[in-house]
Amino acid sequence: MAPSSPRRARQLSERRDRILAAARDLAEEQGWEAVTTRRLADAIEYSQPVLYGHFPQGRTEIVTAVALTGFEELAVALGSLGDAGSDAERMRALVRAYLDFAGRHPATYDAMFLLPVLVPFASDDTPAVVRQGFDAITSTLSRLESPPDDVGTAAEVLWGAVHGLAALHRAGRLAAGNEDLRIEALVRLVAGGAGSRDPGASAG
């Protein structure tokens, strides 16, 4: 007897989740170049045709799904910082949360921002989950005591700056041990000196 429709849907969803989890784990351990449909099929103990049944466009579709999961997690991290504190404290928390995510999930971060994916950016068709992290940045900027005239453009510039810090740090292109100083410099540029503190102090 064939499984009922709800049961079948649950089984397919669970299998899809297994494929994505295996792809993400393999990418974080060995890099995306190690993620092939053959290795994934071996990891989840299914045939390659089964894998293509879930992801007809193959690796690119898998990378896209991992990226969307990453955007969801980043949005949660950035959106859960709260409204308490000074302008500088809120901005500092935002920058630290972003850099912490990028540092803890480098392969997922690559999928989100560096690898080809099947979703558009900066358009009316951009998925809501992709917009949410950017919205958290614009929200933080709009709550500054003196918000920028063009919050959207300022958010793009801030996003670019934080992304640059994440990428250059990971590539070993920045001075070791200066992470806190760089964060404080960026916070001062965006939020001014109000609420600044000793950059050597622990993050709140």
203 occurs within a structural domain: no
Our CA dihedral for 165, 169, 172, 176, rounded to 10 degrees, sits at 110
Q: Which of 11, 37, 56 is the last residue of a domain?
A: 56
Q: How many CA atoms lie within 13 A of 57 on its CB side?
A: 9
- Both 14 and 69 in a single domain? no
- On the question of pLDDT at 177 being above 50, the answer is yes
Residue 196 lies in a domain: no
Among 12, 27, 56, the domain-final residue is 56
| DSSP code string of 125-176 | TS-HHHHHHHHHHHHHHHTSSS--SSHHHHHHHHHHHHHHHHHHHHTT-S-T
pLDDT at 61 over 60: yes
- Look at residue 204 and tell me whether its pLDDT is greater than 50: no
Give the C-alpha distances (Å, rounded to integers) separating 67 from 27, 48, 93, 111, 152: 12, 22, 23, 5, 23
* Residue 165 and residue 70 share a domain: yes
Q: Does some domain include residue 109?
A: yes
Tell me: do 26 and 127 sit in the same domain.
no
Instruction: Check whether residue 79 and residue 49 sit in a common domain.
Output: no
Same-domain check for residues 69 and 142: yes
Q: Give the integer Cα–Cα distance in Å for 141 and 151.
A: 7
pLDDT of residue 23: 96
In a domain, 202, yes or no: no
CB 190 within 8 A of CB 158: yes
Mean pLDDT across 132-159: 95
Per the domain annotation, does 199 fall within a domain? Answer: no
pTM for this prediction = 0.87
Q: Name the nearest CA neighbour of 131 among 62, 187, 74.
A: 74
Q: How many domains does the chain have?
A: 2
Question: Domain of 179: which CATH number?
Answer: 1.10.357.10
**Half-sphere exposure for 122 (CA within 13 Å, toward CB):** 6
Maximum alpha-carbon separation in the chain:
69
pLDDT the model gives residue 46: 86
**Token pair 């991290």: residue:** 77
Q: Is the pLDDT of residue 184 over 70?
A: yes
Residue 83: pLDDT band with limits 50, 70, 90 = confident
Res 197 pLDDT > 50:
no
What pLDDT shows up at residue 106? 98
The reply to whether 95 and 178 lie within a common domain is yes
Residue numbers of the domain that contains 51: 1-56
Same domain, 186 and 134: yes
Judge whether residue 1 has pLDDT over 80: no
Q: Cβ(51)–Cβ(37) under 8 Å?
A: yes
At residue 161, does pLDDT exceed 90? yes
Same domain, 35 and 71: no
- Is residue 140 located within the same domain as residue 175? yes
Which stretch, 9-18, 78-87, 187-196, has highest mean pLDDT?
Answer: 9-18
Last residue within a domain, chosen from 14, 35, 56: 56
- Expressed in percent and rounded to 5, the helix, strand and coil fractions of the chain are 70, 0, 30
Q: Is 19 exposed, middle or buried (0-12, 13-18, 19+ CB in 10 A)?
A: buried
In this structure, are 30 and 106 located in the same domain? no
Residue 200 counted as domain residue: no
For residue 10, give the CATH number of its domain: 1.10.10.60
